[in-house]
Structure 1
Amino acid sequence: MRKLIAAILVAGAAVPTGAAFAADMPFYPPVIDVPDVDYGYTGSFYLRGSGAVNLAWAKEVTHPSVVPPSFATDGYGYGYSFGTGFGYETGTGLRFDVTVDYLSNEGVQATIPASAAPVLSPGVHKLLLRSTVALANAYYDFGIGGDGYGAGGGMFGYVGAGAGVAFNNFTTTSPAGAPSDIWSTNTSFAAAAMAGVGYDFGAVVADLGYRGLYINQLSNPGTTVPYNIDNVLVHEVRGTVRYRFN
Protein backbone atom coordinates (compact mmCIF):
# COMPACT_ATOMS: atom_id res chain seq x y z
CA MET A 1 0.00 0.00 0.00
CA ARG A 2 2.80 2.31 0.91
CA LYS A 3 4.48 1.60 -2.46
CA LEU A 4 1.26 2.48 -4.36
CA ILE A 5 0.84 5.78 -2.50
CA ALA A 6 4.49 6.64 -3.21
CA ALA A 7 4.09 5.93 -6.94
CA ILE A 8 1.02 8.18 -7.16
CA LEU A 9 2.85 11.01 -5.42
CA VAL A 10 5.82 10.72 -7.80
CA ALA A 11 3.56 10.75 -10.87
CA GLY A 12 1.65 13.77 -9.59
CA ALA A 13 4.86 15.65 -9.04
CA ALA A 14 6.06 14.87 -12.54
CA VAL A 15 2.97 16.31 -14.32
CA PRO A 16 3.68 20.01 -13.64
CA THR A 17 7.31 19.52 -14.56
CA GLY A 18 6.42 17.89 -17.90
CA ALA A 19 3.85 20.58 -18.70
CA ALA A 20 6.37 23.31 -17.99
CA PHE A 21 8.94 21.59 -20.23
CA ALA A 22 6.44 21.25 -23.05
CA ALA A 23 5.47 24.92 -22.76
CA ASP A 24 9.08 25.91 -23.24
CA MET A 25 9.42 23.91 -26.49
CA PRO A 26 8.88 25.82 -29.80
CA PHE A 27 6.07 24.50 -32.05
CA TYR A 28 7.02 23.52 -35.60
CA PRO A 29 4.15 22.35 -37.85
CA PRO A 30 4.99 19.21 -39.84
CA VAL A 31 6.30 19.80 -43.37
CA ILE A 32 4.73 17.55 -45.99
CA ASP A 33 6.60 17.37 -49.31
CA VAL A 34 4.03 16.97 -52.10
CA PRO A 35 5.69 16.15 -55.46
CA ASP A 36 4.61 17.97 -58.61
CA VAL A 37 2.01 16.14 -60.65
CA ASP A 38 3.38 14.86 -63.98
CA TYR A 39 0.59 14.82 -66.53
CA GLY A 40 2.87 13.54 -69.28
CA TYR A 41 2.58 16.76 -71.32
CA THR A 42 5.79 17.75 -73.05
CA GLY A 43 6.73 19.87 -76.03
CA SER A 44 8.92 18.42 -78.76
CA PHE A 45 10.19 19.03 -82.27
CA TYR A 46 9.56 16.45 -84.94
CA LEU A 47 10.32 15.44 -88.51
CA ARG A 48 7.58 13.95 -90.66
CA GLY A 49 7.15 12.06 -93.90
CA SER A 50 3.88 11.51 -95.80
CA GLY A 51 2.53 9.55 -98.74
CA ALA A 52 -0.92 9.73 -100.32
CA VAL A 53 -3.17 8.70 -103.18
CA ASN A 54 -5.38 11.41 -104.62
CA LEU A 55 -8.38 12.31 -106.75
CA ALA A 56 -8.60 15.76 -108.38
CA TRP A 57 -11.55 17.71 -109.72
CA ALA A 58 -12.33 21.18 -111.09
CA LYS A 59 -15.63 22.63 -112.26
CA GLU A 60 -14.55 23.88 -115.69
CA VAL A 61 -11.76 24.98 -118.00
CA THR A 62 -11.88 28.46 -119.54
CA HIS A 63 -10.45 29.31 -122.98
CA PRO A 64 -10.75 33.11 -123.50
CA SER A 65 -10.16 32.79 -127.26
CA VAL A 66 -13.14 30.48 -127.81
CA VAL A 67 -16.87 31.21 -127.84
CA PRO A 68 -18.33 30.06 -125.53
CA PRO A 69 -15.17 30.31 -123.41
CA SER A 70 -15.94 27.75 -120.67
CA PHE A 71 -16.27 23.98 -120.85
CA ALA A 72 -17.39 21.81 -117.94
CA THR A 73 -15.04 19.08 -116.80
CA ASP A 74 -16.51 15.59 -117.05
CA GLY A 75 -13.83 13.37 -115.56
CA TYR A 76 -11.73 13.09 -112.41
CA GLY A 77 -7.97 12.82 -112.26
CA TYR A 78 -6.03 10.27 -110.19
CA GLY A 79 -2.54 10.33 -108.79
CA TYR A 80 -0.29 10.39 -105.75
CA SER A 81 1.79 12.68 -103.57
CA PHE A 82 4.65 12.40 -101.10
CA GLY A 83 6.45 14.89 -98.94
CA THR A 84 8.29 15.85 -95.79
CA GLY A 85 8.03 18.43 -93.06
CA PHE A 86 9.33 19.86 -89.79
CA GLY A 87 7.24 20.85 -86.80
CA TYR A 88 6.72 21.43 -83.09
CA GLU A 89 4.08 20.03 -80.77
CA THR A 90 3.28 21.91 -77.57
CA GLY A 91 2.19 18.89 -75.55
CA THR A 92 -1.27 20.36 -74.97
CA GLY A 93 -2.84 19.07 -78.18
CA LEU A 94 -1.70 21.89 -80.44
CA ARG A 95 1.06 21.33 -82.99
CA PHE A 96 2.44 23.26 -85.93
CA ASP A 97 4.53 22.33 -88.94
CA VAL A 98 5.66 23.33 -92.41
CA THR A 99 5.37 20.76 -95.19
CA VAL A 100 6.55 20.42 -98.79
CA ASP A 101 4.82 17.84 -101.00
CA TYR A 102 5.28 16.73 -104.59
CA LEU A 103 1.89 16.04 -106.19
CA SER A 104 1.17 14.21 -109.44
CA ASN A 105 -2.29 13.88 -111.00
CA GLU A 106 -3.58 12.88 -114.42
CA GLY A 107 -7.00 12.63 -115.99
CA VAL A 108 -9.09 15.70 -115.16
CA GLN A 109 -10.84 16.06 -118.49
CA ALA A 110 -13.16 18.23 -120.56
CA THR A 111 -14.93 17.27 -123.78
CA ILE A 112 -14.54 20.08 -126.33
CA PRO A 113 -17.42 20.38 -128.83
CA ALA A 114 -17.02 20.75 -132.60
CA SER A 115 -18.03 24.41 -132.32
CA ALA A 116 -14.62 25.19 -130.76
CA ALA A 117 -12.77 24.21 -133.98
CA PRO A 118 -10.44 25.23 -135.44
CA VAL A 119 -9.01 26.90 -132.30
CA LEU A 120 -9.39 23.70 -130.28
CA SER A 121 -9.51 20.13 -131.48
CA PRO A 122 -12.93 18.64 -130.72
CA GLY A 123 -12.89 15.71 -128.32
CA VAL A 124 -11.55 14.82 -124.90
CA HIS A 125 -8.68 16.91 -123.50
CA LYS A 126 -6.98 15.66 -120.32
CA LEU A 127 -4.88 17.52 -117.78
CA LEU A 128 -1.46 16.34 -116.57
CA LEU A 129 -0.51 18.16 -113.37
CA ARG A 130 2.73 18.20 -111.39
CA SER A 131 2.84 20.52 -108.37
CA THR A 132 5.15 21.29 -105.49
CA VAL A 133 2.98 22.42 -102.59
CA ALA A 134 4.45 24.27 -99.58
CA LEU A 135 2.13 24.81 -96.59
CA ALA A 136 2.25 26.13 -93.03
CA ASN A 137 -0.13 24.02 -90.92
CA ALA A 138 -1.76 23.97 -87.49
CA TYR A 139 -3.43 20.94 -85.86
CA TYR A 140 -5.29 19.96 -82.72
CA ASP A 141 -4.80 16.42 -81.40
CA PHE A 142 -7.29 14.88 -78.97
CA GLY A 143 -7.19 11.58 -77.11
CA ILE A 144 -9.55 8.72 -78.04
CA GLY A 145 -10.86 6.21 -75.51
CA GLY A 146 -9.28 7.86 -72.48
CA ASP A 147 -5.81 8.09 -73.97
CA GLY A 148 -3.96 11.35 -73.40
CA TYR A 149 -1.19 13.34 -74.97
CA GLY A 150 2.56 13.05 -74.83
CA ALA A 151 4.92 10.16 -75.41
CA GLY A 152 3.11 6.85 -75.54
CA GLY A 153 -0.29 8.55 -75.46
CA GLY A 154 -2.05 5.82 -77.48
CA MET A 155 -4.92 6.46 -79.88
CA PHE A 156 -5.76 10.02 -80.90
CA GLY A 157 -7.73 11.97 -83.48
CA TYR A 158 -6.81 15.24 -85.11
CA VAL A 159 -8.10 18.14 -87.18
CA GLY A 160 -6.00 20.74 -88.96
CA ALA A 161 -5.72 23.44 -91.58
CA GLY A 162 -2.93 24.94 -93.66
CA ALA A 163 -2.16 27.69 -96.17
CA GLY A 164 0.65 28.35 -98.60
CA VAL A 165 1.59 28.20 -102.28
CA ALA A 166 1.54 25.67 -105.11
CA PHE A 167 4.19 25.75 -107.83
CA ASN A 168 2.38 24.15 -110.76
CA ASN A 169 3.67 22.51 -113.92
CA PHE A 170 0.96 21.25 -116.29
CA THR A 171 -0.01 20.34 -119.83
CA THR A 172 -2.86 18.60 -121.67
CA THR A 173 -3.27 15.64 -123.95
CA SER A 174 -5.05 16.07 -127.27
CA PRO A 175 -8.04 13.96 -128.38
CA ALA A 176 -5.55 11.75 -130.21
CA GLY A 177 -3.93 10.99 -126.84
CA ALA A 178 -0.54 12.61 -127.45
CA PRO A 179 0.72 14.96 -124.72
CA SER A 180 1.36 18.54 -125.69
CA ASP A 181 5.00 19.52 -126.10
CA ILE A 182 4.33 22.72 -124.15
CA TRP A 183 4.36 22.54 -120.36
CA SER A 184 3.11 25.63 -118.56
CA THR A 185 4.03 26.85 -115.09
CA ASN A 186 2.38 29.15 -112.60
CA THR A 187 2.36 29.88 -108.88
CA SER A 188 -0.95 29.84 -107.04
CA PHE A 189 -2.40 30.21 -103.57
CA ALA A 190 -3.03 26.84 -101.91
CA ALA A 191 -4.84 25.76 -98.74
CA ALA A 192 -5.71 22.52 -97.00
CA ALA A 193 -8.03 20.99 -94.41
CA MET A 194 -7.12 17.76 -92.62
CA ALA A 195 -8.71 15.21 -90.29
CA GLY A 196 -7.75 11.71 -89.23
CA VAL A 197 -6.74 9.24 -86.52
CA GLY A 198 -3.40 7.99 -85.33
CA TYR A 199 -1.41 6.17 -82.68
CA ASP A 200 1.30 7.62 -80.46
CA PHE A 201 4.06 5.05 -79.84
CA GLY A 202 6.33 7.48 -78.01
CA ALA A 203 9.25 8.57 -80.17
CA VAL A 204 7.26 7.62 -83.30
CA VAL A 205 3.72 8.73 -84.15
CA ALA A 206 1.75 7.35 -87.10
CA ASP A 207 -1.55 8.60 -88.50
CA LEU A 208 -3.92 8.03 -91.41
CA GLY A 209 -6.30 10.71 -92.58
CA TYR A 210 -7.97 12.86 -95.22
CA ARG A 211 -6.51 16.03 -96.70
CA GLY A 212 -8.54 18.31 -98.94
CA LEU A 213 -6.06 20.41 -100.93
CA TYR A 214 -7.24 23.57 -102.68
CA ILE A 215 -5.24 25.09 -105.58
CA ASN A 216 -6.65 28.44 -106.60
CA GLN A 217 -5.78 28.44 -110.30
CA LEU A 218 -3.82 26.82 -113.11
CA SER A 219 -3.23 29.37 -115.87
CA ASN A 220 -0.95 29.86 -118.88
CA PRO A 221 -1.49 33.39 -120.23
CA GLY A 222 0.60 34.42 -123.21
CA THR A 223 0.56 31.02 -124.90
CA THR A 224 -0.93 30.30 -128.34
CA VAL A 225 -4.12 28.88 -126.83
CA PRO A 226 -4.32 30.26 -123.28
CA TYR A 227 -6.62 28.67 -120.73
CA ASN A 228 -7.14 28.56 -117.01
CA ILE A 229 -8.64 26.10 -114.56
CA ASP A 230 -9.95 27.67 -111.35
CA ASN A 231 -10.54 26.15 -107.93
CA VAL A 232 -8.86 22.79 -108.31
CA LEU A 233 -9.71 20.49 -105.40
CA VAL A 234 -7.56 17.46 -104.65
CA HIS A 235 -8.90 14.80 -102.25
CA GLU A 236 -6.18 12.73 -100.57
CA VAL A 237 -6.02 9.65 -98.36
CA ARG A 238 -2.75 10.27 -96.60
CA GLY A 239 -0.48 8.37 -94.23
CA THR A 240 2.12 10.14 -92.11
CA VAL A 241 4.90 9.07 -89.75
CA ARG A 242 6.38 11.58 -87.29
CA TYR A 243 9.63 11.17 -85.35
CA ARG A 244 10.23 13.15 -82.17
CA PHE A 245 13.89 13.95 -81.71
CA ASN A 246 14.04 15.71 -78.34
Structure 2
Amino acid sequence: MDKKTLRKVQLVQLEIAKEIARICEENKINYYLIGGTLLGAIRHKGFIPWDDDLDIGMIRSDYEKFMQIAPKCLDDKYALIDWKSDLNYPHPMGKIIKKGTIYRESKRNDNGNQGIWVDIFPYDYTSGIGKDFAKKTFKLKVLRSLVRAKCNYQTWQSGEGIILSKYIKNLPFRLAAIFLKKETLVEKYEMLCVEDENLKYLYENGTEDYEKWCFPREYFIEQTRAEFEGCYFSIPQKYDEYLRRAYGEYMELPPENERENRHLIEEINFGE
Protein backbone atom coordinates (compact mmCIF):
# COMPACT_ATOMS: atom_id res chain seq x y z
CA MET A 1 0.00 0.00 0.00
CA ASP A 2 1.51 3.35 -1.00
CA LYS A 3 1.84 6.14 1.55
CA LYS A 4 -0.93 8.29 0.08
CA THR A 5 -3.46 5.43 0.18
CA LEU A 6 -2.36 4.40 3.66
CA ARG A 7 -2.89 7.93 4.93
CA LYS A 8 -6.40 8.00 3.46
CA VAL A 9 -7.17 4.71 5.24
CA GLN A 10 -5.83 6.10 8.52
CA LEU A 11 -8.01 9.20 8.26
CA VAL A 12 -11.14 7.08 7.74
CA GLN A 13 -10.15 4.98 10.77
CA LEU A 14 -9.67 8.18 12.78
CA GLU A 15 -13.15 9.29 11.77
CA ILE A 16 -14.57 5.94 12.99
CA ALA A 17 -12.63 6.16 16.27
CA LYS A 18 -14.06 9.62 16.94
CA GLU A 19 -17.57 8.20 16.48
CA ILE A 20 -16.81 5.35 18.92
CA ALA A 21 -15.43 7.83 21.45
CA ARG A 22 -18.52 10.02 21.08
CA ILE A 23 -20.87 7.14 21.85
CA CYS A 24 -18.75 6.02 24.80
CA GLU A 25 -18.52 9.48 26.33
CA GLU A 26 -22.25 10.15 25.91
CA ASN A 27 -23.14 6.82 27.56
CA LYS A 28 -20.47 6.63 30.29
CA ILE A 29 -18.69 3.67 28.68
CA ASN A 30 -14.97 3.31 29.39
CA TYR A 31 -12.71 2.63 26.41
CA TYR A 32 -8.97 2.77 25.71
CA LEU A 33 -6.63 3.06 22.78
CA ILE A 34 -4.63 -0.17 22.87
CA GLY A 35 -1.76 -1.98 21.15
CA GLY A 36 -0.03 -0.20 18.30
CA THR A 37 -2.62 2.58 18.41
CA LEU A 38 -1.66 3.39 22.01
CA LEU A 39 2.01 3.16 21.06
CA GLY A 40 1.36 5.60 18.22
CA ALA A 41 -0.41 8.02 20.55
CA ILE A 42 2.54 8.13 22.95
CA ARG A 43 5.44 7.94 20.50
CA HIS A 44 4.00 9.79 17.48
CA LYS A 45 0.93 11.63 18.83
CA GLY A 46 -1.00 9.78 16.14
CA PHE A 47 -0.71 6.74 13.94
CA ILE A 48 2.56 4.89 13.70
CA PRO A 49 3.43 6.10 10.17
CA TRP A 50 3.28 2.60 8.66
CA ASP A 51 0.35 1.27 10.74
CA ASP A 52 -2.76 0.25 8.81
CA ASP A 53 -5.27 -0.32 11.60
CA LEU A 54 -6.68 1.28 14.75
CA ASP A 55 -7.55 -0.72 17.87
CA ILE A 56 -9.77 0.12 20.83
CA GLY A 57 -10.27 -1.97 23.97
CA MET A 58 -13.05 -2.19 26.55
CA ILE A 59 -13.45 -4.30 29.67
CA ARG A 60 -16.15 -6.89 28.97
CA SER A 61 -18.98 -5.15 30.86
CA ASP A 62 -18.35 -1.91 28.94
CA TYR A 63 -17.97 -3.86 25.70
CA GLU A 64 -21.37 -5.54 26.12
CA LYS A 65 -22.97 -2.19 26.95
CA PHE A 66 -21.43 -0.66 23.84
CA MET A 67 -22.65 -3.54 21.67
CA GLN A 68 -26.20 -2.96 22.87
CA ILE A 69 -26.17 0.83 22.58
CA ALA A 70 -24.09 1.46 19.46
CA PRO A 71 -26.60 0.23 16.83
CA LYS A 72 -29.08 2.83 18.11
CA CYS A 73 -26.54 5.66 18.33
CA LEU A 74 -24.22 5.21 15.36
CA ASP A 75 -24.26 7.76 12.58
CA ASP A 76 -25.81 6.24 9.44
CA LYS A 77 -22.38 6.27 7.76
CA TYR A 78 -21.24 3.41 10.00
CA ALA A 79 -22.25 -0.12 10.91
CA LEU A 80 -21.44 -2.39 13.85
CA ILE A 81 -20.65 -6.02 13.12
CA ASP A 82 -19.85 -8.88 15.46
CA TRP A 83 -20.03 -12.65 15.33
CA LYS A 84 -23.52 -12.74 16.81
CA SER A 85 -25.15 -10.37 14.33
CA ASP A 86 -23.27 -11.43 11.17
CA LEU A 87 -23.29 -15.15 10.34
CA ASN A 88 -20.20 -14.75 8.14
CA TYR A 89 -18.12 -12.82 10.67
CA PRO A 90 -15.58 -15.09 12.45
CA HIS A 91 -13.94 -12.97 15.16
CA PRO A 92 -14.64 -12.57 18.91
CA MET A 93 -14.14 -8.80 18.77
CA GLY A 94 -16.53 -6.35 17.18
CA LYS A 95 -15.83 -3.87 14.41
CA ILE A 96 -17.21 -0.55 13.35
CA ILE A 97 -17.01 -0.21 9.58
CA LYS A 98 -17.64 2.72 7.27
CA LYS A 99 -20.44 1.85 4.87
CA GLY A 100 -19.68 2.11 1.16
CA THR A 101 -15.96 1.39 1.61
CA ILE A 102 -14.01 -1.78 0.85
CA TYR A 103 -10.90 -2.94 2.71
CA ARG A 104 -10.47 -6.57 1.71
CA GLU A 105 -7.67 -8.73 3.05
CA SER A 106 -5.86 -10.99 0.62
CA LYS A 107 -7.22 -14.54 0.25
CA ARG A 108 -9.13 -14.53 3.53
CA ASN A 109 -12.29 -16.04 1.98
CA ASP A 110 -14.17 -13.84 4.43
CA ASN A 111 -17.72 -13.30 3.22
CA GLY A 112 -18.50 -10.79 5.95
CA ASN A 113 -18.71 -7.03 5.59
CA GLN A 114 -15.24 -5.77 4.70
CA GLY A 115 -15.39 -2.00 4.82
CA ILE A 116 -12.62 0.08 6.37
CA TRP A 117 -12.84 -0.78 10.05
CA VAL A 118 -11.81 -0.15 13.63
CA ASP A 119 -11.57 -3.20 15.89
CA ILE A 120 -13.07 -3.14 19.39
CA PHE A 121 -11.50 -5.79 21.64
CA PRO A 122 -13.20 -7.02 24.82
CA TYR A 123 -10.92 -7.50 27.82
CA ASP A 124 -11.77 -10.45 30.07
CA TYR A 125 -10.67 -11.31 33.61
CA THR A 126 -8.29 -14.09 34.57
CA SER A 127 -6.23 -15.07 37.60
CA GLY A 128 -2.98 -14.63 35.67
CA ILE A 129 -0.67 -16.43 33.29
CA GLY A 130 -0.10 -20.06 34.26
CA LYS A 131 -1.31 -23.61 33.64
CA ASP A 132 -4.99 -22.78 34.15
CA PHE A 133 -4.77 -19.85 31.75
CA ALA A 134 -2.95 -22.01 29.19
CA LYS A 135 -5.69 -24.67 29.37
CA LYS A 136 -8.38 -22.05 29.02
CA THR A 137 -6.79 -20.28 26.07
CA PHE A 138 -6.22 -23.64 24.35
CA LYS A 139 -9.99 -24.26 24.52
CA LEU A 140 -10.65 -20.72 23.28
CA LYS A 141 -8.33 -21.26 20.31
CA VAL A 142 -10.06 -24.54 19.40
CA LEU A 143 -13.50 -22.92 19.53
CA ARG A 144 -12.25 -19.93 17.59
CA SER A 145 -10.77 -22.20 14.91
CA LEU A 146 -14.11 -23.98 14.59
CA VAL A 147 -15.94 -20.67 14.18
CA ARG A 148 -13.45 -19.60 11.52
CA ALA A 149 -13.93 -22.88 9.69
CA LYS A 150 -17.71 -22.49 9.90
CA CYS A 151 -17.35 -19.03 8.32
CA ASN A 152 -14.97 -20.34 5.63
CA TYR A 153 -12.27 -18.02 6.95
CA GLN A 154 -8.70 -19.11 6.34
CA THR A 155 -6.01 -18.10 8.80
CA TRP A 156 -3.30 -17.39 6.26
CA GLN A 157 -2.84 -14.82 3.54
CA SER A 158 -1.28 -15.06 0.10
CA GLY A 159 2.46 -14.57 0.24
CA GLU A 160 2.85 -16.33 3.59
CA GLY A 161 4.04 -19.60 2.03
CA ILE A 162 3.52 -23.23 3.09
CA ILE A 163 -0.16 -22.86 2.22
CA LEU A 164 -0.73 -26.60 1.71
CA SER A 165 0.52 -27.51 5.20
CA LYS A 166 -1.61 -24.77 6.74
CA TYR A 167 -4.66 -26.01 4.84
CA ILE A 168 -4.06 -29.59 6.04
CA LYS A 169 -3.62 -28.37 9.63
CA ASN A 170 -7.00 -26.63 9.46
CA LEU A 171 -8.81 -29.48 7.68
CA PRO A 172 -10.03 -31.21 10.91
CA PHE A 173 -11.70 -27.96 12.00
CA ARG A 174 -13.37 -27.59 8.60
CA LEU A 175 -14.72 -31.14 8.75
CA ALA A 176 -15.94 -30.80 12.35
CA ALA A 177 -17.58 -27.46 11.61
CA ILE A 178 -19.92 -29.10 9.10
CA PHE A 179 -21.81 -30.69 11.99
CA LEU A 180 -21.79 -27.71 14.36
CA LYS A 181 -23.84 -24.52 14.62
CA LYS A 182 -21.99 -21.24 14.76
CA GLU A 183 -24.36 -19.93 17.45
CA THR A 184 -23.49 -22.89 19.71
CA LEU A 185 -19.74 -22.38 19.24
CA VAL A 186 -19.98 -18.65 19.97
CA GLU A 187 -22.06 -19.29 23.09
CA LYS A 188 -19.52 -21.83 24.40
CA TYR A 189 -16.65 -19.45 23.67
CA GLU A 190 -18.22 -16.53 25.49
CA MET A 191 -19.30 -18.66 28.46
CA LEU A 192 -15.69 -19.77 28.83
CA CYS A 193 -14.66 -16.11 28.99
CA VAL A 194 -16.90 -15.33 31.99
CA GLU A 195 -14.83 -14.98 35.17
CA ASP A 196 -14.98 -13.26 38.55
CA GLU A 197 -14.47 -9.52 38.04
CA ASN A 198 -12.30 -9.42 41.17
CA LEU A 199 -9.51 -11.38 39.48
CA LYS A 200 -6.24 -9.51 39.10
CA TYR A 201 -5.53 -9.74 35.36
CA LEU A 202 -7.22 -8.78 32.11
CA TYR A 203 -6.48 -10.27 28.70
CA GLU A 204 -7.31 -9.02 25.25
CA ASN A 205 -9.90 -11.27 23.66
CA GLY A 206 -9.51 -11.57 19.91
CA THR A 207 -5.74 -11.46 19.72
CA GLU A 208 -3.73 -14.38 18.36
CA ASP A 209 -1.48 -14.34 21.45
CA TYR A 210 -3.52 -14.29 24.66
CA GLU A 211 -0.47 -14.42 26.95
CA LYS A 212 1.35 -11.47 25.39
CA TRP A 213 -1.74 -9.30 25.76
CA CYS A 214 -2.53 -10.21 29.36
CA PHE A 215 -1.99 -7.38 31.87
CA PRO A 216 -2.53 -6.60 35.56
CA ARG A 217 -6.02 -5.13 35.90
CA GLU A 218 -4.56 -2.12 37.74
CA TYR A 219 -3.31 -0.84 34.37
CA PHE A 220 -6.93 -0.17 33.37
CA ILE A 221 -8.54 0.98 36.64
CA GLU A 222 -7.96 4.66 35.90
CA GLN A 223 -7.91 6.50 32.60
CA THR A 224 -6.12 9.52 31.24
CA ARG A 225 -6.16 11.26 27.87
CA ALA A 226 -3.62 11.33 25.08
CA GLU A 227 -3.34 13.27 21.86
CA PHE A 228 -3.91 11.26 18.70
CA GLU A 229 -3.95 13.03 15.33
CA GLY A 230 -4.99 16.33 16.90
CA CYS A 231 -7.81 14.76 18.94
CA TYR A 232 -7.81 13.42 22.48
CA PHE A 233 -8.76 9.85 23.37
CA SER A 234 -8.87 7.77 26.54
CA ILE A 235 -5.88 5.57 27.36
CA PRO A 236 -4.93 3.48 30.40
CA GLN A 237 -3.40 5.68 33.09
CA LYS A 238 -0.59 3.14 33.43
CA TYR A 239 0.17 3.30 29.73
CA ASP A 240 3.93 3.22 30.34
CA GLU A 241 3.71 -0.11 32.18
CA TYR A 242 1.39 -1.48 29.48
CA LEU A 243 3.69 -0.44 26.64
CA ARG A 244 6.87 -1.68 28.33
CA ARG A 245 5.23 -5.05 29.01
CA ALA A 246 4.06 -5.31 25.38
CA TYR A 247 6.96 -3.70 23.48
CA GLY A 248 9.95 -3.23 25.78
CA GLU A 249 11.79 0.04 25.02
CA TYR A 250 8.82 1.32 23.09
CA MET A 251 10.13 4.83 22.34
CA GLU A 252 12.86 3.36 20.13
CA LEU A 253 11.90 3.01 16.47
CA PRO A 254 12.19 -0.49 14.97
CA PRO A 255 14.66 -1.19 12.14
CA GLU A 256 13.51 0.18 8.80
CA ASN A 257 12.95 -3.31 7.38
CA GLU A 258 10.33 -3.94 10.08
CA ARG A 259 8.33 -0.80 9.35
CA GLU A 260 5.62 -2.32 7.20
CA ASN A 261 1.86 -2.76 7.06
CA ARG A 262 0.44 -5.66 9.08
CA HIS A 263 -2.44 -6.51 6.72
CA LEU A 264 -2.13 -7.72 3.15
CA ILE A 265 -4.90 -5.74 1.48
CA GLU A 266 -5.95 -6.76 -2.03
CA GLU A 267 -8.80 -4.29 -2.58
CA ILE A 268 -9.42 -0.77 -1.27
CA ASN A 269 -12.31 1.48 -2.20
CA PHE A 270 -13.12 4.70 -0.36
CA GLY A 271 -16.62 4.94 -1.80
CA GLU A 272 -15.84 8.24 -3.45
Q: Give the alignment's TM-score, normalised by structure 1.
A: 0.21
Q: Which structure has more helix as a fraction of its residues?
A: 2
Q: Which structure has more strand as a fraction of its residues?
A: 1
